[in-house]
Amino acid sequence: MTLADEMQVTLRLPTRTLHEGPASRLFAEAENGAFGMLPNHIDFVTALVPSVLILTLADGSEQIFGIDEGILVKKGHDVDIAIRRGVQGTDLASLRETVQESFIEMDEDERVARSALSRLEAGMMRRFADLQRPKTP
């Protein structure tokens, strides 16, 4: 592996890619604490916890993301991050509000979906029970 000034970072959600591009530095938080990563860091795999992920771009600007739990895999100069939920912010103050609004909205959607699934399962169980009952003439 040759020395590089940048690493290719891809931040993936279940339904889309939140970010894809080069970065000169990465800061994240794993289950055992916060860490930083440079392009020539050793290959690495870790589980991420809900936290702030910061990417420093080649021009020195930062991109900030509020993330939920996920997995980070660094191999060579590629870093793939798969997260359950995530949002991009412009600064830390606004990111907090964005995370709260987005994650609360997602939690409500998940609650509605779980409720609908429970009703479907209960209806299916009733129908199976009806099939097993002997029919009276």
Name which of 95, 103, 99, 76 is nearest 9 in CA terms. Answer: 76
- Say how many C-beta atoms besides its own lie within 10 A of residue 79's C-beta: 22
List of the chain residues with pLDDT < 50:
none
Where do the structural domains in the chain lie, given as residue ranges?
A: 7-90
Q: What is the pLDDT of residue 3?
A: 84
Q: What is the pLDDT of residue 108?
A: 66
| pTM of the complete model | 0.70
Q: What is the pLDDT of residue 105?
A: 63
Q: What is the pLDDT of residue 10?
A: 97
Q: Which CATH superfamily is domain 7-90 in?
A: F0F1 ATP synthase delta/epsilon subunit, N-terminal (2.60.15.10)
